[in-house]
Amino acid sequence: MVWLRRATATDQAAIVALIRAARLNPFNLNWRRFIVADDGGRVVGAGQVKPHGDGARELASIAVAPDRQRQGIGGAIVATIIALEPPPLYLYCAEYNESYYLRFGFRTLAPAEMPRSLRRIHLFANLLFGAHNAVTGQHRRLVVMGRGLPGA
């Protein structure tokens, strides 16, 4: 049976392995901020909230082991973090993941609506993607999404 719990220090290596396998940002993976999905002692999913210097909090590092995807684990992690965290909550993701987060009430933000910290990441990442797209012919883009924004 899979259950969600707060991570402990002994989960650190499993968290890092999950995030690396999912090819997500491998920095700032402190177990203290993570919720993990535990299946009989095996960490099969993870997610965290990262605080930024300007006070923005970012839902990040959502990953589920490839052999356990599409079983509701990722959704349970996102829903649990939303329930635990006061709004607003932000995230950034590749454009192809945008529709995954719409179902949890996140919406894509215009730059003017983004907190300063995430606006900077958005600008920088999309400059890099622009160069990458020019070379490869791909159309990759990073989007910033938010939920429970003041006045929304």
Ligand X SMILES: CC(C)(COP(=O)(O)OP(=O)(O)OC[C@H]1O[C@@H](n2cnc3c(N)ncnc32)[C@H](O)[C@@H]1OP(=O)(O)O)[C@@H](O)C(=O)NCCC(=O)NCCS
Chain contacts with ligand X (rule: CB under 6 A): 22, 24, 62-64, 69-75, 93, 96-97, 99-100
User: Which residue in the shown chain puts its C-beta closest to ligand X?
Assistant: 74
* Ramachandran angles phi, psi of 85, nearest 5°: -100, 135
Beta carbon of residue 107, minimum distance to ligand X (angstroms, whole number): 15
Q: How many beta carbons lie within 10 A of that of residue 110, not counting itself? A: 7
Question: Rounded to the nearest 5 degrees, what angle is found at the Cα of 54, between the Cα atoms of 98 and 9?
Answer: 75
Judged by beta carbon, residue 4 or residue 24, the one nearer ligand X is: 24
Beta carbon of residue 79, minimum distance to ligand X (angstroms, whole number): 9
Beta carbon of residue 96, minimum distance to ligand X (angstroms, whole number): 6
Beta carbon of residue 24, minimum distance to ligand X (angstroms, whole number): 6
Q: Which tokens in the block code for residue 95?
A: 């454009």
Judged by beta carbon, residue 99 or residue 151, the one nearer ligand X is: 99
Judged by beta carbon, residue 36 or residue 62, the one nearer ligand X is: 62
Is there a contact between 30 and 15 (Cβ–Cβ < 8 Å)? Answer: no
Judged by beta carbon, residue 31 or residue 65, the one nearer ligand X is: 65
DSSP codes joined into one string, 66-121 = GGGTTSSHHHHHHHHHHHHSPSPEEEEEEGGGHHHHHTTT-EEPPGGGS-HHHHHH
